[in-house]
A and B are shown apart, each in its own frame.
Chain A
Amino acid sequence: MAVEAVRVDPAAGIAPGSALEFETVIGLEVHAQLLTRSKMYCGCLADYADAPPNTATCPVCLGLPGALPVANRAAIELALLTGLSLGCRIPGYNKLDRKNYVYPDLPKGYQISQYDLPLCAGGALTFVSGGVTRTAGITRVHVEEDTGRLVHRSEVGGEVSLVDLNRSGVPLMEIVGDPDLRSPEEAKDYLIALRQILRYIGASTGNMEEGAFRCDANISTRTRDGVLVGSKVEVKNMNSFRAVERALRFEETRQRAALSAGEAVPQETRGWVEDRGVTVSQRTKEQAHDYRYFPEPDLPPLDADAAMVATVRARLPELPLARRARFAAAFGLGEGDAALLTAEREIADTFEAAIGPEATPGEARAAANWILNDLMGLQGQRGLPPHVLPLSADQLRDLLSALAGGEMTARAAKELLPQVEPEELPRAAAARLNLLSLDDTGVVDAAVAETLAAFPAAVADYRAGKKAAIGRLIGETMKRTGGRARPDDVRRRLQAALDADG
């Protein structure tokens, strides 16, 4: 427990408002919904999105008398996978506990969670923040269950609160980080990296807007000399990465101001109010719950023996940072491009599948450019989610090989891309749209002749020694072929014509 702020002693030479050297200490607790078919302790569907209220339920998740929980093995495996991806130890013994509190969205009157002996413990998350690679400790990863939801509504006769238990029992894991973060930006970057890992390993969608990835933060402030120390403040209700960064920025400023003014920073829970851009006190230390944790007698410890851990470990994919480094090294990609290309596992997979195992760095860079510029541009225009490209790996491979073989010009490809139908190969689309390269020399020669006639000034410039003027003529000739002539072919023919008649 942090010590309350010490009063400023003017005799010691520290005056309020003077340039104190502060340090911010942040630790994050993330709740992520595990991507399983069924709920944590019953067979109900975990994806209740389209179900009318209280229909994705059963006696277990409704907390009916006599119902008993049965742990979902798939959820345990995903939590284990998360722990392993964060380098956690998997203790030989874990247990489930009841966390007791009363609220209408908690049907049993307790949540089945893990208290002192979690499934995974003592890992680390490596992430990049401000261009620097940082490592923050992971205290633990444990499984628990979600609550239902209350819907407040005005009706004739007053306000009513309705309970929807579709979300009750949906599997969650809590990932508790060590207080190793030193700034709001670091906190945001830590979250982005953690979310990326969860998406890579398929443990969670990480969707913050849908509540599949929620973050509470503990933040405290102290002076580097240790003279002033504020208590730990828990901040809740942050629904986006930006909100986390803003809320922590606000808290950092508030706490520094308080300490500088010789005031105490009391231990409390505060909520972020998005539209006002402030945190407000929700609960003081004195009002803290006593959750009366005790071992859940209805469930034996979770199965996590060496054989199961080995099976789960075998499912670990290459993680984002490693993949990013490999892309940079193997394909000569810049750090920025490699990071963008590996931000989503599906996109990195598409990239690798499209270029194949034998790709040269040149081919890989060409493919990367098409993805990062054209396909991601189109992705944005179409409002696709960040992990979904407009082309599949097969389509991209076909496009790249057509470009490499000269069957299509880059210009034609850019025109083609928005018009490729789902699952249609780009070559077929180009044929359909008449965008394949021109092999008819008569058409190209005619376009060359037309251009030379139309731009005598450029022709004269070239012949006078301004060789750069040919660029204009190439562009105009390309335009006259609808972009389908090969630029090198056009250049050769223009040069031949210009040099011959000179």
Chain B
Amino acid sequence: MSGQDGARTGAGRATTASDLTALTAAEARRHLDARDVSAAELTEAHLARIDAVEGRVHSYITVMAEVARAQATAGDARIARGEAAPMTGVPVALKDNLCTVDAPTTAASRILAGYRSPYDATVVSRLRDQGAVFLGKANTDEFAMGSSTEWSAFGATRNPWRLSHVPGGSSGGPAAAVAADEAVVALGSDTGGSVRQPAGFCGVVGLKPTYGRVSRYGLIAFASSLDQIGPFARTVEDAAILLGAVAGHDPLDSTSAPEAVPDFAAMVGPGAGEPDLRGVRLGVAREYTIEGMEPGVQAAVDAAIARLAELGAELVEVSLPHTEYALATYYITAPAEASANLARYDGVRFGLSVQAPTLRETYERTRGEGFGPEVKRRIMLGTYALSSGYYDAYYVKAQKVRTLVRRDFDEAFERVDAIVCPTSPTVAFAFGARTDDPYQMYLSDVFTIPANMAGIPGIAVPCGFADGLPVSLQVLGPAFDEGIVLRVADAYERSETWTGQRPPL
């Protein structure tokens, strides 16, 4: 992408379609405001790119071409009036578990096929208010339950780096869309790693904010105490811009935090000066080396950590002793909450309704035909964990372990400013490699789950390749300090020279 460096300084004029789809949100903003690129051109370039690669990648469940064109036109008018917001005219992909009034919202489930929400999710209405352009609803594992998008009822998304491999999940669609230049940025949701793991597999940046930083209103719930909406982008700076556009307290979400939202975008990117991590203490957790870790992944992550030290960071060994229990407790807490959250899909008011002679049969057939195998597995797991006689042994115990996991991080962050570790123990795997073994699939999220259990922010940033597939570094920070994880990831990203590499589509 020859246009990239020129565009990054705002000096060049992006003219060709591939130049336009390669723009970052920050670059697009400069071009749009300079009026040398219109939102309409930018949108058409992305719609053309979607036409060109969707047959191979399948990032989207629904492409919102007409909505996008109308938003682009309105965005251009707004820019002409000099009233542009950071996201005005910027094409975005939305994970299909974010409710939108002008396109179906399916959560990739047959039970919601064609479902039209009568309201926008708060993040959607905030982007709409900013004048962003919605390219479409991106693919996911059904109800965000999965790590590969193989559990989507509407077909899996392929990894743009290698089409025989999964893009990760559950937000595989948004990750692949951003990696394949089918969107500038995207919003996904992260319950146990569903933003960071696919970002890692697809070689893009993915951020899970602090629990409560972004409103969950209008996010189709999977596990309410763990779900958090987060941005995908090709640069850390773009992730900061998109986070800034959607973050902040929402009176409609009682778990959204009143904390002020700092100017994240100002902390990162070229405007923040030369990459410099002097005075930053980075924790390296000894528990984050596990059996089954791919050597190529370990090597790339070690090299990235060495680079962070070269940038001035002080490396400190820390211990997070309850990490090994986090995965097991996650698979009690998340399914327990999911079993209740998914009770509303009963065929009575909306979505799929399979009529049967009795109420009970209507329920059974609607849910039997509407839900896929992984969703059913988790509903059963969760129902069991909450049942009388098992509740204390499972749910209550899991909550206690969750407290210990959180305490691990609290103690670590007394000594360090952030923690660095792999995003995932492996690079993207081949289709079908793990669908028959749920436990192997669950292991994919072993490094991302603790942050959800503790509610802390974490970012995945590309840190090289292993076997030709992207490897990702994860940076974890204290609650409500997205600033530090963005700064560390940004410094790393800008210190590397290969980070502009694009998948060979």
Residues of A within 8 A of B (CB): 59, 62-71, 98, 100, 102, 104, 107-110, 161, 163, 290, 292-294, 297-300
Contact = CB atoms under 8 A, between A and B. Distances in A.
A292 B121 contact: no
Given A65-B112, A65-B220, A100-B386, A70 B252 contact: yes
B387 A300 contact: no
Contact of A65 (B107, B252, B337): B107
Q: How many of chain B's residues touch chain A, expressed as a range?
A: 35 or more
B435 to A, nearest CB: 26
Given A59-B119, A290-B388, A65 B254 contact: no
Contact of A108 (B112, B219, B343): B343
Given A65-B112, A65-B344, A102-B343, A163 B121 contact: no
B118 A69 contact: no
Instruction: Report the 5 A-B pairs with minimum CB-CB distance, sorted nearest first.
Output: A109-B343, A297-B225, A292-B386, A297-B224, A66-B218
Interface stretch (B162-170, B272-280, B345-353): B345-353
27 contacts: A64-B349, A64-B350, A65-B99, A65-B112, A66-B98, A66-B105, A66-B119, A66-B220, A67-B119, A67-B218, A68-B252, A68-B255, A70-B251, A104-B348, A107-B344, A107-B349, A108-B344, A109-B342, A110-B340, A163-B348, A292-B339, A292-B340, A293-B391, A294-B337, A294-B340, A298-B224, A299-B254
Contacts of A161: 359
Interface string B94-128: 00011100000101000010010111010000000
A8 to B, nearest CB: 34
| Residue with the highest number of chain B CB atoms closer than 10 Å, among A108, A163, A292, A300 | A292
B416 to A, nearest CB: 29
Contacts of A299: 254-255
A100 B344 CA distance: 11
A68 B340 contact: no
A108 B223 CA distance: 15
B140 to A, nearest CB: 14
Given A102-B363, A107-B344, A69 B254 contact: yes
B344 A59 contact: no
B386 A63 contact: no
Contacts of A64: 117-119, 344, 349-350
Contacts of B383: 292
B305 interface: no
Nearest to A59: B119
A59 B118 contact: yes
Given A68-B254, A102-B363, A108-B343, A292 B388 contact: yes
A71 B340 contact: no
A297 B251 CA distance: 16
Given A100-B386, A104-B359, 11 more contacts: A64-B117, A66-B99, A66-B218, A66-B220, A67-B217, A108-B343, A109-B344, A161-B359, A293-B386, A294-B336, A298-B221
A180 B350 CA distance: 46
A319 B223 CA distance: 45
Nearest to A96: B254
A163 B353 CA distance: 15
Contacts of B346: 102, 104, 109
B253 interface: yes
A68 B252 CA distance: 7
B383 to A, nearest CB: 7
A56 to B, nearest CB: 15
Contacts of A59: 117-119
A218 B78 CA distance: 66
